[in-house]
Amino acid sequence: MVPNAARQRVTGQVLGLGQERSQAALRELLAASERRNTPLDAVLLVGCAGGLDPNLRPGDLVVPARYRHPLRDPLEPDPGLLEQALEAAGSAGLRIHRGDSLTVDRLVAGAPEKLELGRRHAAAIVDLEDYWVAEVCAQAGVPFLAARAVLDPARQTLPDYLMTLADHEARVLGRALFQPWCLPTLLGLGVQLRAAQRSLTRLAAALVEYRGAEREDLTVAPP
pTM of the model: 0.81
- Confidence (pLDDT) at 170: 39
| pLDDT tens digit sequence for 31-69 | 998 898 888 889 999 999 999 999 999 999 999 999 999
Answer for the pair 40, 26: CB distance below 8 angstroms, yes or no. no
3-state secondary structure of 211: helix
Evaluate whether 66 touches 167 at the Cβ level (below 8 Å): no
Q: Where does 141-182 have alpha helices with state H?
A: 162-165, 169-178
Please give the domain boundaries of the chain with CATH numbers for all domains.
2-158+196-215 (3.40.50.1580)
- CA distances to 10, 87, 146, 221 from 213, in Å: 7, 16, 18, 19
Decide: 39 and 74 in contact? Cβ < 8 Å.
no
Contacts of 71 (CB under 8 A, 6+ apart): none
Question: What pLDDT score does 168 carry?
Answer: 44
Note whether 134 and 66 are within 8 A (CB).
Answer: no
Give the closest residue to 129 by CA, choosing from 164, 158, 104, 165. 104
Name 144's bridge partners: 43
Rounded Cα distance between 193 and 185, Å, is 12
Residue 208 has a pLDDT of 79
Q: Classify each residue of 198-209 as buried b or exposed e, where b means 16 or more C-beta atoms within 10 Å of its C-beta.
A: ebbebbbbbbbe
Give the mean pLDDT per block of 10 residues along the chain (223 residues): 48 86 94 89 92 96 97 96 93 94 94 96 97 97 96 88 48 41 59 89 86 46 39
Tell me the CA distances in angstroms from 48 to 31, 32, 106, 187, one per residue in order.
Answer: 26, 26, 14, 17
Asked if 197 contacts 149 with a C-beta cutoff of 8 angstroms, the reply is yes
How confident is the model at residue 115, as a pLDDT? 97
Show the DSSP H helices in the chain as ranges: 18-35, 79-91, 111-121, 130-140, 162-165, 169-178, 183-211
What is the torsional sign of CA 27, 17, 194, 125?
A: negative
For residue 220, give the 3-state DSSP assignment. coil
